[in-house]
Amino acid sequence: MPRLSAPPWLRDLAGAWIFYSVLPAWPAPAPRFERIARFAPWIGAVLGVLQGLLWWALEGRVPLVAQVALVLALGLWLSGGLHMDGVMDSADGLAAGDRCLEAMADSRVGASGVQALVLVLLLRAGALAMLGPAAPVALVWAAVCGRVAPLPAMAWFPYLRPGGSAAFHRAHGAGLAAELRPALLLLPPLLLLPWPGLATWPVPIGALALLPALLVPVVLGRRLGGHSGDSYGACVEWSESLGLLLIAAVLTAWAG
């Protein structure tokens, strides 16, 4: 009998698993790296769950500062630092003015890149410290919404480096509506996640993280005149950090 081949979407999902995480590759099917960005939110959900489980396992067993640091370290390791590199390169590009693309392509990290890295980590650490028991749920929401951010960036703005390593995202994209469909499938299970101690609060509070996921790619795209692989990564990290902070701020205000 002829061997059945996997559908393209499943091969793209396998490719997204490899591209967006350091988790062991699947034994099958053979990965494809074409429309993988649409499945980045799915990978984000897995990484967010793993971070949430670590937070839950450490809660009350180690000091809060250690708990926050270890969860942040796990997130960086699970993603391979892929998107954080984009944060630093994009910041260096924005600071370089007319030499934007040259600075972003430079493997050396400038002062602006270091400051952006520190700022993103501080925002995320502050948010986690504010969230407390709600951190595991917020981590999942923020990781998913943060990985939605590159989709409008790819759909609404030109790619700045024709032939660049991330050009395949736009080359194989099927339009924003189609690329968002896998992310929309995550909404029902996300909405079922309980928020500790907040039974009276409307369930979709995690959807607040979608606000920076829509605004960050627009702001960056206008500043840069388009997007590149680096700014796609910056969209992920800034959106995830700001989304986490927004959820934390609203929950804190509500509890107060």
CA distances from 212 to 30, 165, 173, 246 (A): 34, 25, 22, 9
Q: How many structural domains are present in the chain?
A: 1
Q: Which two tokens stand for residue 87?
A: 């944060």
pLDDT at 1 over 50: no
- The larger pLDDT score, comparing residue 8 to residue 174, is at 8
pLDDT given at position 3: 46
CA distance 83 to 237: 6
Residue 35 domain-assigned (yes or no): yes
Whether 1 is in a domain gets the answer no
> Residue 105 falls within a domain, yes or no?
yes
pLDDT per residue as tens digits for the range 73-112: 999 999 998 899 889 988 888 887 778 777 777 677 788 8
Q: What are phi and psi of 166, to 5 degrees?
A: -105, 10
2 part of a folded domain: no
Tokens of 145: 């919404």
Question: Residue 175 sits in which domain range?
Answer: 8-255
Residue 197 confidence (pLDDT):
65
Domain annotation covers residue 3:
no
**107 domain residue, yes or no:** yes
